[in-house]
Structure 1
Amino acid sequence: MAEFSYKSPVVLKSRTRKKSAHIYSNLGSISFSKLLILVFLILLCKTQDGFVKVEGRNFTLNGERYTYLGANYWAGMNLGAPMNGNYARLTSDLDLLQSNGVRNLRIMGSTQGPDYKPHRITPSLEYECGRYNEDTWEGLDLFLYEMHKRNMKAVIPLNNYWGWSGGFDQVIEWFFGENQNDTEIFYFRDKITKHYDEFIHLIVNRKNTAYLRYEGRTVYYKDDPTIMSWQLANEPRSINCKEWASWISGRSQLLKYLDSNHIVSIGTEGTITTCQKSGNEVPTIDYITVHAWAQNWGWYTPSSREGFEQGVKKVQEYISENIKENLNISKPIVMEEFGLARDGLSFDPKATVNIRDDFYQAVFDEVLKRTQEGIMAGVNFWAFGGKGRPRENGGLMWEPGDDFIGDPPHEPQGWYSVYDTDHSTLELIKQYAQKFEGIQ
């Protein structure tokens, strides 16, 4: 049962009913051919609304199949912040992504404080429980507006299983204190669910200040075609499958009740985690996500070429496993996270990326093939660092004042980032972005 109440239907006043009756009574005077044209124009307007939709295993956009090669670019909200951001860096990064064919970005839509805690994104959006930093909000506004100008689409996770953005553990701490050691609390405590649902209301109904400032028009997030989808969280996990599916159902139903324009996903890593299928089967979840981490999961250590083919094979098998597991669900499948270190496991931005390029190509080829077969729908690499650079050639953890790059604050900086000077990687991305866009 849903955890919210639908409003009762509004009864039209008699004056409205009479007006409607007058309209219908005049339809008889319209010729059949004109009526067909009218119906066609209505359907055409509905089709050309700019929102990504789901039809079976495919995404569609304006009546055509929508497939893509995109990037993870989680720092855009902070870079766009008017007071604490870096607008020049943001626009430069977006221009570079656009010039290389990247039209889809998976970003962050929620970060938690307190900002003095180490190894997390700061300034945060929610700096205290239920209290929000307007500068960071406006950073997200501007980020989405700049994406809109470049005809890009955003996938927006609404929270994070991991602590590098505050995430689940921080919310649990706000309500139940530190050292709970049980992330499952996030799904099964009414206080936390209420807090999460309140944020859904807040972000879906957010009025984008950048559209108002630069174009003089009011655009709510729920009405912005720049947003492709809402994602319940980044890489959520659970071992209580029935209860977890109930939480997913409640949250995704609420999103769809408040926002009929956008599709919804969970944000899970795939079959490597428990319960992922029970979540994917929820009817109000529109598509399935897969993440693959060859080095993190011990499939390949890219210090040399040794073991490279085996690492690629493991990723290919993992993709096949996820396709097989979810094939009867008949929803689009996206490979939305994968990455690899620079050659020699170096964190130096000047280090070569020959092995990584070959790995990217192998993953792109596999997803492209599956997308051409109609089984998958897109891919996002992890992650774009653009003009940002790590401190002292990398390897150190992020600290306030350092550049935001593709690596989250809790990981050695420079591990998986793709920089604006990684020309061979960017050229590869551009080539494959064109191939993905050409799929019908």
Structure 2
Amino acid sequence: MMNRRSLLAASVAMAAMPALPVMAKTTPAGFVRREGTKFTLDGKPYHYVGANLWYAAWIGHEGRLGRELDALAADGVSNLRIAASAELSPLKNSVRPAFHDQDDAYNDALLTGLDHAMAEIGKRGMKAVLYLTNFWEWSGGMATYLLWTNGGHYIDMGDPAHPWPEFPDFVSGFYRSPTAIERYHAHIRRIVGRVNTVTGKPYAEDPAIMGWQLANEPRPGGTDAVVNRTLPEFHAWISSTARLIKSLAPHHLVSTGGEGLKGSMERPGLVLSSQADDAIDYHTAHVWPGNWGWLDRTDMEGTHARALSLSAEYVQQHVELARQAGKPLVVEEFGYPRNGDVYDLSVSTSMRDDLYAMIQDAVIASVREGGPLVGSNFWAWNGEGRAQHADFRFKSGDTSFLGDPPHEPQGWYGVFDQDRSTRDIIRARAETLASI
């Protein structure tokens, strides 16, 4: 946990970063701006209750998309974090279909699905944050760019022959591979430079896009030795990619998509240095008490209070880091199992509701106090989607996409349309934020 000494060390680390020129621009109407530790929209503060809807492009051609967006909008959700990439991969749990394959053949249905999603998001006055690859295997991601460029070598996440943390150490090789990064940058140019086939508007000129993220949960490795060796290339990747995006879409915000301390070997200095570039507009943090051992999922009742306490402390640590950096903060992923760690929709979500209320109340308190925590996106919206198999597992060929991605049981963390108590919390907090 962070203390005064570690904060001082973090300050020194951030001060040691080389000064970089600010990319000045005049922002047209309708685009979200960053001003100090705040977001603004047309001169007014912009803060929000948001959701993760990573699969928006996958359902872009379905009537379901509009129904899901209407349900979210009715609950006051105004910001969506969605995937703008997926690499066709032999990795065990990678999603199908994918945006593109090793030969850079693109799936037109997904591209136009993303177009439809952005058009529908814009119609409802919502904003989207789009991430452009994934550190994890479930959408192909960095490991797939590596295997495309290293002769086909890869490690499957969760393979007993390659126990944790071999997978993140392997994926860190992405930052040290110029050819893999160039393949990824080519995808960025294709997506950020795209013209929406539904609206006719270039993505770079679309105010429905709040910003772009370099990746979902990028981290520099899994062990201290690998992280220390990789840091120069990791920082260079952040800077070069953020500046590439800014050159293509100067009116949009850019963030890393990082988890915060848990993705930074618990080093405050690494959190600050990885988000210090002037082209990175705001900080992000993710909160996963059930994945990090704070919540014992075999004894949820006995460990729930501890999990909430540690989660609240974790959020506050990132508030202090963002305040120190002079940038806004969004808690853009947080999740909790249904009671008893079961997936059936008949089971209560009362413990999850406690976490949602705590994090969204922290945003409200920060906004009222003028602090840097200005938004949150819960993970994730399942809506009307339902698991298609008795084991709650996604299988290749399934079309009922849920917020729980292919490597996780469907129903583990996602919020369904029938989860009334959770939706009541979301709506109430959204109404409070809107009134500030």
TM-score clears 0.5: yes
Q: Residues 387 and 393 from structure 1, CA distance in 2 versus in 1: closer, same or farther, beyond 3 angstroms?
A: farther
Would the aligned equivalents of 1:47 and 1:63 in 2 still touch at CA under 8 Å? no
| Distance in 2 of aligned mates of 1:47 and 1:126 | 32
Which stretch of structure 1 is more off in the superposition, 300-309 or 368-377? Answer: 300-309
The structure 1 residue matched to 2:196, chosen from 197, 202, 208, is 208
Instruction: Indicate if the aligned counterparts of 2:27 and 2:33 stay in contact, CA closer than 8 A.
Output: no
1:269 aligns with 2:228: no
Deviation at 1:118, TM superposition (A): 4.1
Residue type at the aligned position of 1:268: G
Q: For 1:50, which of 16, 30, 40 is the aligned residue?
A: 30
- State the distance in 2 between where 1:418 and 1:88 align: 19
Confirm or deny: 8 A CA contact 2:129 2:210 kept in the other structure.
yes
Matches within 5 A, 1:145-156: 145-156=119-130
Could you say what secondary structure the match of 1:291 adopts? strand
Alpha-carbon distance, 1:242 to partner? 2.9
The structure with more radius of gyration: 1
1:393 CA displacement: 5.4
* Alpha carbons 2:91, 2:137 under 8 Å: kept: no
CA distance in 2, matches of 1:47, 1:183: 36
Measured after TM superposition, the shift of residue 325 of structure 1 is 3.0
Residue 143 in 1 paired to residue 117 in 2? yes
- Aligned mates of 1:428, 1:157 — CA distance in 2: 27
Q: Is the deviation greater in 387-396 or in 58-67?
A: 387-396
Counterpart mapping for 1:147-226 below 5 A: 147-176=121-150, 177-179=152-154, 182-211=170-199, 218-226=200-208
Counterpart of 1:237 (choices 191, 209, 219) is 219
Give the C-alpha shift of residue 299 in structure 1. Answer: 0.4
Cα distance in 2 for residues equivalent to 1:286 and 1:396 = 37
Deviation per CA, 1:361-402, whole angstroms, max 9, x where unpaired? 122222321232222110000000000001245543444225
Decide whether the 8 Å contact of 2:77 with 2:430 is kept in 1. Answer: yes
Q: CA deviation at 1:243?
A: 2.5
**Distance in 1 separating the partners of 2:291 and 2:208:** 32
Secondary structure in 2 aligned to 1:335? strand
Is residue 376 of structure 2 the alignment partner of residue 379 of structure 1? yes
Q: How far apart are 1:119 and its partner, in Å?
A: 2.2
Name the aligned partner's letter for residue 275 of structure 2. N
Secondary structure of the 1:305 match is: helix
Provide the secondary structure at the position in 2 that maps to 1:122. Answer: coil
- Is the 2:145–2:184 Cα contact (8 Å) retained in structure 1? no
Shifted more, 193-202 versus 133-142: the winner is 193-202
SS of residue in 1 equivalent to 2:302: coil
Displacement of 1:221 in angstroms is 0.5
Alignment partner of 1:251 is 2:245: no
Alignment of 1:334-345 (within 5 A): 334-345=330-341
Work out whether residues 217 and 263 of structure 2, in 8 Å CA contact, stay in contact via their aligned partners in 1.
no
Name the CA distance, whole Å, in 1 between partners of 2:74 and 2:116: 20
Displacement of 1:47 after TM fit? 6.5
TM-score, scaled relative to structure 1: 0.83
Alignment of 1:215-364 (within 5 A): 218-238=200-220, 239=227, 240-274=230-264, 275-302=270-297, 303-364=299-360
SS of the counterpart of 2:377? strand
In structure 2, runs of 5+ residues without a counterpart are 1-24, 156-166, 221-226, 265-269
Structure 2 letter corresponding to 1:227: I
Q: Which moved more, 1:390-399 or 1:376-385?
A: 390-399
Structure 2 residue 117 is matched with structure 1 residue 122 = no
Shift of 1:340: 0.6
User: 2:14 maps to which residue?
Assistant: none
What code does the residue aligned with 1:133 have?
A: N
The corresponding residue for 2:409 is 412
SS in 2 for 1:106: strand
- The alpha carbon displacement at 1:322 in A equals 1.8
Which residue of structure 2 lines up, in the alignment, with residue 391 of structure 1? 388
Deviation at 1:50, TM superposition (A): 0.5
- How far apart, in 2, do the equivalents of 1:263 and 1:276 lie? 19
Counterpart residue number, 1:27: none
SS in 1 for 2:410: coil
Q: Percent identity?
A: 38
Q: Secondary structure at the match of 2:50?
A: strand
Amino acid of the residue matched to residue 32 of structure 2? Answer: V
Structure 1 residues 117 and 179, CA gap change in structure 2 (3 angstroms): closer
Q: Hey, what does 2:79 align to over in structure 1?
A: 104
Distance in structure 1 (CA, Å) of the matches to 2:319 and 2:311: 12
How many angstroms apart in 1 are the aligned matches of 2:330 and 2:201? Answer: 28
SS in 2 for 1:236: coil
Task: Judge conservation of contact 1:398–1:412 (CA < 8 Å) in 2.
Answer: no
Distance in 1 (alpha carbons) for counterparts of 2:387 and 2:368: 37
Query: Which stretch shifts more, 419-428 or 229-238?
Result: 419-428
Which deviates further from its counterpart, 52-61 or 393-402?
393-402
